Amino acid sequence: MKKRNIIIDCDPGIDDIIALSFAIANEDKLNILGITTVAGNQSIEKVTSNTLKLISFFNKDIKIAKGQKGPLLREKCVVSKVHGENGMGDYELPEPKIQLSSDNAITFLRDTILNCEDMVTLVPIGPLTNIALLIKTFPEVVEKIELLSIMGGSTDVGNYTPSAEFNVWADPEAANIVFKSGIPIVMSGLNVTHTTGLYREDVDSLLKSNGKVTHMCGKILDFYFKGDHVNNGKFTPIHDACSIMYLLYPEIYKYRHMKVEVDCSEGLNRGNTVADVRDWVNYDETYPKVLLEVDSDKFTEILLSELYKLDNIMK
Amino acid sequence: MKKRNIIIDCDPGIDDIIALSFAIANEDKLNILGITTVAGNQSIEKVTSNTLKLISFFNKDIKIAKGQKGPLLREKCVVSKVHGENGMGDYELPEPKIQLSSDNAITFLRDTILNCEDMVTLVPIGPLTNIALLIKTFPEVVEKIELLSIMGGSTDVGNYTPSAEFNVWADPEAANIVFKSGIPIVMSGLNVTHTTGLYREDVDSLLKSNGKVTHMCGKILDFYFKGDHVNNGKFTPIHDACSIMYLLYPEIYKYRHMKVEVDCSEGLNRGNTVADVRDWVNYDETYPKVLLEVDSDKFTEILLSELYKLDNIMK
Amino acid sequence: MKKRNIIIDCDPGIDDIIALSFAIANEDKLNILGITTVAGNQSIEKVTSNTLKLISFFNKDIKIAKGQKGPLLREKCVVSKVHGENGMGDYELPEPKIQLSSDNAITFLRDTILNCEDMVTLVPIGPLTNIALLIKTFPEVVEKIELLSIMGGSTDVGNYTPSAEFNVWADPEAANIVFKSGIPIVMSGLNVTHTTGLYREDVDSLLKSNGKVTHMCGKILDFYFKGDHVNNGKFTPIHDACSIMYLLYPEIYKYRHMKVEVDCSEGLNRGNTVADVRDWVNYDETYPKVLLEVDSDKFTEILLSELYKLDNIMK
Amino acid sequence: MKKRNIIIDCDPGIDDIIALSFAIANEDKLNILGITTVAGNQSIEKVTSNTLKLISFFNKDIKIAKGQKGPLLREKCVVSKVHGENGMGDYELPEPKIQLSSDNAITFLRDTILNCEDMVTLVPIGPLTNIALLIKTFPEVVEKIELLSIMGGSTDVGNYTPSAEFNVWADPEAANIVFKSGIPIVMSGLNVTHTTGLYREDVDSLLKSNGKVTHMCGKILDFYFKGDHVNNGKFTPIHDACSIMYLLYPEIYKYRHMKVEVDCSEGLNRGNTVADVRDWVNYDETYPKVLLEVDSDKFTEILLSELYKLDNIMK
Ligand SMILES: [Ca+2]
Ligand SMILES: [Ca+2]
Ligand SMILES: [Ca+2]
Ligand SMILES: [Ca+2]
């Protein structure tokens, strides 16, 4: 089977770290053309530094490009406290041995996509600022993007506000541009990411592990549990891993195609993704594929075993 | 047990007719001080006429007052097609034998509430225009209102738009005033009303009934089935009956108290009720009680048997 | 010539005090049926107390009714600092000898308007909360209202915000209802009130006056000068007096009829009155008459001489 | 005196044609590094074609780059009818002899600005889509931009809507990005462009002219008069020429620095530029310089004589 070409656009961020690790554990299936960063969970400097450190830690030579320092319209990007001062739950990885391939994620994305022989899948797991600017500034890439597997939005509850998920809330105008672009979209929103993840005992096992990678994952997830309020500390979603999981195991998800619009008003619903979940209204396959359910046990099992696999790879 | 004093504010409307009938079947528990009308499912003239006809049909002398002809800010009230040209599924009740007690629902509500020795419960099952004007024009009633048992809003899906339920959509500014009033509220939103109701075979039985009331109910619900898109015609919600049911059988519901705000913007989410369903955020009992689940079988069973009871009462 | 029946709806407020005084000086032309109060420049308690004191001070028996304590949708009414802690520039009038005729301005307005043989002119010079509730709760008054001579809004600059005048900003939804009501409107907005008023030397003369009324006016206007930022302290607008002046001397104004809509959004333009001043777009006389220019010298001259006249009346 | 390096971003458009001609007549003072196009008065294809034809007509080799085909968020750009089916008042220039230097205005702007030894002035006289994307995608250009001399917005009346000028209305989010960018701005809004321009008799003289350029100007302005509603056909503003005029003759303008924000809501004021014209609020020189008055006669005189000068240059 042919590998899928992907570029991950991220803001690590604890769950971003898990998602990146999960992707790297699957390089037999995923051809990672590059990683772009965007301000979100932390400042652009910190999330870019975290990405460089992580890829160095894995001894990989994946290209990394630094992206936007804030959203399209608002001046400063609010930083999530859930991810700690350094954006990695205050876990300290060694200084990176590699350097940025580019300090402009937009041109890096354009060049990488256009230079790739086949179609490319983008995996945006942070605010959608880079992707929106890519689409508007270089519209010629649109037809070369096979899929956007997005972590963002929700069909029901929010997290940053009662009605808005953080990634979309952080740049609603960018999300609006992306959802209107016509590019095929798979949306992993809170409605599905909240229903699966890792259990307290999973994290305890990771913490006790001698493996270099799994121990690191245990440490940052231990911090993540503190900030997570869902499920009373027994369980934590790993939001960003969902968008990678979908690429590898689409069969564990249920979904429907539906219209998704982004509320860009100043009011209560800023950043809310209005997904038309009325089941008596039908949309064809040109509309975003919104993930609605996941086989939660499979998700947990796969994610954990892939993280442990990384310990072997790195030996 | 003491009877609960209630005033029903409605826009009949098929499910309003069922809700009113259901209330009348329970006059041993509910002291119906009056009924007020409001433009919504149909024009104020039609919904008022329907109310007069229904109460005449039941040979009751419940006081009826005509209310607002449209929402606070927008000029014309959009009319729901789900309820037919006459608002009663084109079923024709005989001309009324009774007359309006008042052509001003606001002063009628004020007088009735203030003249009642005990507290009064309001049951708004149409747009909230009358209730909002009552609260603002006569704030002295606030402390005499025991409860607002509202059919309106939703914690998830909308019906009139992807994000908004019809009653709140029809006058969001009024709903905003009501939800901010500090009066105790029980909200029966689409999230719960969509999960219960009557089955196709229930309506077929009503249609075959020789009882005067049940036959009428069968006819209008047969029409209602046509307009309802939920559950593929096997089943239809009876939204407005929920707000009466809660007063009689609160034990069949699950709920949480939470903040509820109404989106009054011009955009995608106009009329959306932002209920803070994040289960890691806690609100005390001064916040609205939002119904989340209902024992669906109990609901169906009780509602049906009470409608059949009315045939006996009217013999 | 027949006297014009008026009711003044106000929030004294320094310029309200001048406007009320100016109206009382013209009782040969204006039949003051009553005064209603509304929260705005100060709390409803303070502005009502100020009104009672002023009318007592004039030994008049004009009926006074207490109105709304805050706007329709927002919970608290912001208080203008321009009018001092007591709303009268910290000037202390004696305790009132008269009492409220009603503690409900809405029903007072309805009764007074309906009981008047002729048409009635309303002069709203505070937030439009009372008037909006009157129109919605008692729509039967609409055809008995000859004119709304409103101080509020602006075709250009704002004062409370860059784009919004205080009275409209304080309750945009109420203003929206009023401007959509179909009642004839004359709008005295900042665009015209800013172009006339009293000079520093006028106020100095008032201060030196031995007249009871003019001395009071001098004292409160001296305070008003401190808070006013227009024209470098040489000159101060007397906004609310404009709406009375128009009734007495319409010939000193230039105007055009135009569409006026009120921005009720949450954003930058909340409370902005969108008056269609494009001179190549024409509106007929059913649209609000928006005052555009005034003979500034005449305004100053008339206002001053009328205030001095009051000293004689009260001797 | 050193020439000013400029790039004109435009959507010709009749007044754009005059502005471009006016700039070309002043190449002794202005070093035109390029022209970029943007959808606005007409589709991107038409405005780009018009630009190529005009520059061919002048036998110039100015570089031209094709820009954005629509605004950032809304899908289609509304086209102004004022400029005719072809965007040039249906005047037909010969087919162009030159070709596009680039089909990406954003990268053309970046390259041209960064390759220029000195600072560059941008003259945006269409919707601000290109400029916003330039600023966000290539923030390194910001410090090389000396000035944005923008035709857009208004401190008072709108044209496309009662409150919004066309260029800003056509892409408010882009305008928002530009006004927040921190780059020095001179804003020529309708408040000043409406107060000057060309008279009917000026256009008649142009029409009668034997000069190649002036005759063309006469023909397109004759069409422009039909669509212009200001000043009853005696006079027409030449909006876009204002932004060039300011660069050449700043001394004929009066201005103040003030905060300017763009309303991006869905409501009445979408596209309104909220300029804080309250003269008692002071802003320093880091805020946009908003042109408030112009010596109207000088403007007309200069503009006309420069257009006639072009006939000589082209002989
Ligand atoms: Ca992330
Ligand atoms: Ca109803
Ligand atoms: Ca006032
Ligand atoms: Ca233009």
Q: Give me the count of residues in chain B.
A: 315
Among the bound ligands, the one closest to the CA of B150? 2
Which amino acid belongs to residue C228?
D
Q: Give me the count of residues in chain A.
A: 315
Q: Is the peptide bond before A13 cis (omega within 30 degrees of 0)?
A: yes
- Reported as half-sphere exposure (CB side, CA atoms, 13 A), residue A257 has a value of 9
The complex scores an ipTM of: 0.94
Q: Is D282 on the interface with C (CB under 8 A)?
A: no
Query: Are B157 and A278 an interchain contact pair (Cβ–Cβ within 8 Å)?
Result: yes
What does the pLDDT average to over B83-100? Answer: 95
Q: Are strands A4-10 and A120-124 parallel, antiparallel or unpaired?
A: parallel
Chains that touch A (3 or more CB pairs under 8 A): B, C, D
Top residue of A161, A266, A270 to mutate, by most chain C CBs within 10 Å, is A266
- Residues near A126 by Cβ (< 8 Å), separated by ≥ 6? A9, A10, A11, A13, A16, A37, A38, A39, A40, A41, A47, A167, A170
**Rounded to an integer, what distance in angstroms lies between the CA atom of residue D275 and that of residue D36?**
27
Distance from the D178 Cα atom to the nearest Cα atom in chain C, whole angstroms: 17
For chain D, the average pLDDT equals: 95
Residue D314's pLDDT is 78
At C205, the pLDDT band (50, 70, 90 cuts) reads: very high
Residue B81's pLDDT is 82
Q: Report the residue from C157, C264, C278 with minimal CB separation from D162.
A: C278
Residue B36's pLDDT is 98
Percent of chain A residues past pLDDT 90, beyond the cut: 90
What pLDDT digit, counting tens, does each position of A268-280 carry? 999 999 999 998 8
Which residues of chain C neighbour D158 with C-beta distances below 8 Å? 278
Please name the residue ranges forming H helices in A43-181: 44-57, 105-115, 129-137, 166-170, 172-179
B154 CA to middle of ligand 2, Å?
Answer: 15
What does the pLDDT average to over D302-315? Answer: 92
Chains that touch B (3 or more CB pairs under 8 A): A, C, D
- Residues near A277 by Cβ (< 8 Å), separated by ≥ 6? A155, A256, A258, A290, B156, B157, B162
Which amino acid belongs to residue B179?
F
D134 CA to middle of ligand 1, Å?
Answer: 26
Residue A314's pLDDT is 78
Q: Is A21 on the interface with B (CB under 8 A)?
A: no
- Reported as half-sphere exposure (CB side, CA atoms, 13 A), residue B136 has a value of 34
Which amino acid belongs to residue D97?
K
Residue C232's pLDDT is 75
Q: Is B178 on the interface with C (CB under 8 A)?
A: no
Among the bound ligands, the one closest to the CA of B40? 2
What does the pLDDT average to over A200-221? Answer: 96
Q: Report the residue from D133, D138, D139 with minimal CB separation from A136.
A: D133
Q: Is D165 on the interface with C (CB under 8 A)?
A: no
Which residues 211-250 in chain B show a CB within 8 A of chain A?
229-230
Distance from the D258 Cα atom to the nearest Cα atom in chain A, whole angstroms: 19
**DSSP conformation letters of C144-197:** GEEEEEEE---SS--SSSSS--HHHHH-HHHHHHHHTS---EEEE-HHHHTT--
Distance from the C268 Cα atom to the nearest Cα atom in chain D, whole angstroms: 6
- Domains, chain A, in order of start with CATH, read 4-313 (3.90.245.10)
For chain B, the average pLDDT equals: 95
Residue D280's pLDDT is 87
Q: Are strands D185-188 and D145-151 parallel, antiparallel or unpaired?
A: parallel
Query: Are A137 and D72 an interchain contact pair (Cβ–Cβ within 8 Å)?
Result: no
In the sheet that B145-151 helps form, which strands lie side by side, from edge to edge? B64-65, B30-37, B4-10, B120-124, B145-151, B185-188, B289-294, B253-257
Active site residues of B: 239
Residue C279's pLDDT is 86
Which residues of chain A neighbour D68 with C-beta distances below 8 Å? 136
Rounding to the nearest 10 degrees, give the CA dihedral for residues A156, A162, A164, A169: -170
Q: Is A267 on the interface with D (CB under 8 A)?
A: no
Top residue of C272, C281, C287, C290 to mutate, by most chain D CBs within 10 Å, is C272
Distance from the D159 Cα atom to the nearest Cα atom in chain A, whole angstroms: 24
At D133, the pLDDT band (50, 70, 90 cuts) reads: very high
| For D269, nearest residue in chain B (alpha carbons) | B266
Query: Are A272 and B269 an interchain contact pair (Cβ–Cβ within 8 Å)?
Result: yes
Query: Are D159 and C281 an interchain contact pair (Cβ–Cβ within 8 Å)?
Result: no
Query: Are B275 and A229 an interchain contact pair (Cβ–Cβ within 8 Å)?
Result: no
Which amino acid belongs to residue D74?
R
Cβ atoms within 10 Å of A156's Cβ, excluding its own: 16
Query: Are A75 and D176 an interchain contact pair (Cβ–Cβ within 8 Å)?
Result: no
Q: Is B95 on the interface with D (CB under 8 A)?
A: no
At C270, the pLDDT band (50, 70, 90 cuts) reads: very high
What does the pLDDT average to over D15-44? Answer: 98
Top residue of A36, A73, A173 to mutate, by most chain D CBs within 10 Å, is A73
B163 CA to middle of ligand 1, Å?
Answer: 26
Q: Is D102 on the interface with A (CB under 8 A)?
A: no
Is the pLDDT reported for residue C191 higher than 80? yes
Distance from the B269 Cα atom to the nearest Cα atom in chain D, whole angstroms: 12
Chains that touch C (3 or more CB pairs under 8 A): A, B, D
- Can you read off the two tokens belonging to residue C33? 């049926």
Residue C204's pLDDT is 96
| For D281, nearest residue in chain C (alpha carbons) | C229
At A224, the pLDDT band (50, 70, 90 cuts) reads: very high
At D313, the pLDDT band (50, 70, 90 cuts) reads: confident
Residue A277's pLDDT is 94
Q: Report the residue from A162, A269, A280 with minimal CB separation from B269.
A: A269
Cβ atoms within 10 Å of B180's Cβ, excluding its own: 16
Nearest to A36 by CA among A119, A128, A98: A128
Which residues of chain A neighbour B268 with C-beta distances below 8 Å? 261, 263, 265, 269, 272, 274
Point out the catalytic residue in the list D83, D194, D229, D239: D239
Is the pLDDT reported for residue A228 higher than 90? no
Q: C232 phi and psi, to 5 degrees?
A: 55, 35
Distance from the A202 Cα atom to the nearest Cα atom in chain C, whole angstroms: 46
**Rounded to an integer, what distance in angstroms lies between the CA atom of residue C198 and that of residue C147?**
27
Residue D15's pLDDT is 97
Strand, helix or coil at B5? strand
Which of D79-88, D184-193, D195-204 is the least confident region?
D79-88
Is the pLDDT reported for residue A238 higher than 80? yes
**Rounded to an integer, what distance in angstroms lies between the CA atom of residue A99 and that of residue C293?**
67
Helix (H) or strand (E) holding C289: strand C289-294
What pLDDT digit, counting tens, does each position of B217-250 carry? 999 999 998 877 677 788 899 999 999 999 999 9
Residue D164's pLDDT is 97
Which of A72-76, C144-148, D233-237 is the least confident region?
A72-76
D310 CA to middle of ligand 4, Å?
Answer: 21
Residue A115's pLDDT is 98
Nearest to A145 by CA among A187, A193, A168, A113: A113
Point out the catalytic residue in the list A194, A215, A229, A239: A239
Which residues 29-58 in chain A show a CB within 8 A of chain D?
none
At D233, the pLDDT band (50, 70, 90 cuts) reads: confident
Residue A234's pLDDT is 87
**Rounded to an integer, what distance in angstroms lies between the CA atom of residue B307 and that of residue B245?**
13
Query: Are C272 and D267 an interchain contact pair (Cβ–Cβ within 8 Å)?
Result: no
At D66, the pLDDT band (50, 70, 90 cuts) reads: very high
Q: Is C1 on the interface with D (CB under 8 A)?
A: no
Which residues of chain A neighbour C264 with C-beta distances below 8 Å? none
Q: How many CB pairs under 8 A join B and C?
A: 42
Is the pLDDT reported for residue D75 higher than 90? no
A223: exposed, middle or buried (Cβ count in 10 Å: 0-12, 13-18, 19+): middle
Residue A74's pLDDT is 86
Give the dihedral sign, CA C253/C255/C259/C261.
Answer: negative
Residue A226's pLDDT is 84
Q: Give me the count of residues in chain D.
A: 315
3-state SS record for D78-104: CCCHHHCCCCCCCCCCCCCCCCCCECC
Distance from the A142 Cα atom to the nearest Cα atom in chain D, whole angstroms: 15
**Rounded to an integer, what distance in angstroms lies between the CA atom of residue C154 and that of residue C276?**
11
- Can you read off the two tokens belonging to residue D179? 């006004």
Nearest to B165 by CA among B155, B174, B173: B155
D179 CA to middle of ligand 1, Å?
Answer: 29
Q: Give me the count of residues in chain C.
A: 315
Q: Report the residue from A158, A264, A274 with minimal CB separation from B162.
A: A274
A42 CA to middle of ligand 1, Å?
Answer: 10
Q: How many CB pairs under 8 A join C and D?
A: 76
At A44, the pLDDT band (50, 70, 90 cuts) reads: very high
